Amino acid sequence: MPAMNTLELRAASTAELRIAAPAGVRHLYIHIPFCHRRCAYCDFNTYANMDDRMEAYVDALCRELAGLRTPADLPPRALTRPAETSSAALLRADLRPTIFLGGGTPSMLPLPLIERVLAAADALISLTGAEVTVEANPGTVLGREYLRDLRGLGVNRLSMGVQSLHDPTLRVLGRIHTAAEARASYADAMRAGFENINLDFIFGLPGQHIQQWEATLREITTWEAAHFSLYSLILEESTPLYAQVVGGRVSVPDDDVTGEMYERAIELLGAAGYTQYEISNWARADHLEPPPQAAVGSRLALPVRACHHNLAYWLNADYLAAGAGAHGHIFPQRYADVLGIDDYISKVRAGQAPIAEITELSKRDLYAETMLMGLRLNIGVSYAHFRDRCGAELAEVYASELQELTALGLLDCDTLGVRLTERGRLLGNQVFERFV
């Protein structure tokens, strides 16, 4: 039997699914693709008016998760897993195991279905001691009792998509909740015993101005949430909002105003005691735990309320994924499940792996992925981490890019590694495209 250290995908020899979880994978993403209706800006793999498939979908999901435990032979690999010893790798080893139910709107699932999904996940990654997150839409959270029972099932982190506290904006976005409902859902979640709550907001929204965004920031910093994710609006071409903006029916703030909003967020959240640890993420700083041993004396201490699941992505950990359109990454491969709900259900029912594609990372992919993920973090990418993961020297592979971006004031390089400057965080996409 070969060493079980990579994702195993092979042709069917039995009616079993054929994805074998490698020993030691500690992170699992589960996609729940149902929404009440599609928001005007959303291009995620999510579907409205398909609630009648929930039961069949969860059946399929549980079978896919069970299949992840099925051993299989290893196909050949072009890249071999490096022995990583950098402090980033050690920090990654210190992450809690994680299970993340994202979507879509997982909080649309009735509790018995969530219970079944979690039981199937528990057989792969024990819920005990894990960070277990469920994404929730304030318009679907069914009150304190639902939230209390969710907590009772072992869910210990809630991620709520609030997006705005301005009702006219919420309507333009097509959200199904009001600002008052978002405030009430958050208060219910706190009373239900959730101490670790993330709140998602978007800035650069249609009709939004600086004073309005500032008022939102001032209000939410009094809520004492453990974590905030603040994203600048991205207009995706396939969305109704894009067509409205291009057609001149809706206007959005220009880049300068959006940049100023981001700076105000950094300033006000910092003043309120939040630590920014990633381009779009802040965690309450009064929960700092002693840094892991690997980080002592370095910049690698992270707030304890940082999202461990997302840290697994940014620190290039392996993670499994299940559900329609879900993406997994087991070095040196990525894989994606089929997108459609019905396609997903029928493939699993037929005993086939619901995989749409598997990509083997080339050396160039690996370099780019290491930079694109790692630079999102304020700690950046250390030379040692790049060397361990890629078997090459960062300063040699990207010599001209580092020189150019440093001269532009977007990147800061020292003897340990590279990281975005504050201006670089503001213009992150311009930096990232230089590494692809």
Which residues are at the interface with ligand SF4 (CB under 6 A)? Answer: 35, 38-39, 42, 44, 46, 103-105, 137, 161
Token match 């381009």: residue? Answer: 279
Compute the least distance from the CB of residue 142 to ligand SF4, in Å: 15
Residue 392, classified by CB atoms within 10 Å of its CB into exposed (0-12), middle (13-18) or buried (19+), is: middle
Name the residue nearer to ligand SF4 (CB basis): 103 or 204: 103
Min separation Cβ 102 and ligand SF4, Å = 9
CB of 45 to ligand SF4, least distance (A): 9
Using DSSP's 3-state secondary structure scheme, residue 29 falls into strand
Peptide bond into 325 cis (omega under 30): no
Residue 211: CB partners within 8 Å, gap ≥ 6? none
Residue 51 DSSP label: G
Distance between CA 162 and CA 144 in Å, rounded?
17
- Nearest Cα to Cα of residue 134 among 119, 154, 163: 154
Pick the closer one to ligand SF4 by CB: 32 or 381: 32
CB of 351 to ligand SF4, least distance (A): 30
Q: Rounded CA gap, 68 and 336, in Å? A: 14
> CB-based contacts of 426: which residues, under 8 Å, 6+ apart?
259, 262, 263
- Tell the smallest beta-carbon distance from residue 192 to ligand SF4 (Å): 21
Nearer to ligand SF4, 7 or 230 (CB): 230
Between 47 and 277, name the residue whose CB sits nearer to ligand SF4. 47
Residue closer to ligand SF4 (CB basis): 6 or 105:
105
CA distance 144 to 149: 9
Q: Which is nearer to ligand SF4, 156 or 163 (CB)?
A: 163
Least distance CB 324 / ligand SF4 (angstroms) = 13
Q: Which two tokens stand for residue 61?
A: 């999901």
d(CA 105, CA 278): 24
Q: How far is the CB of 108 from ligand SF4 (least distance, A)?
A: 9
SS3 336: strand
Closer CB to ligand SF4, residue 175 or residue 305?
175
The neighbour count for residue 426, using CB atoms within 10 Å, is 21
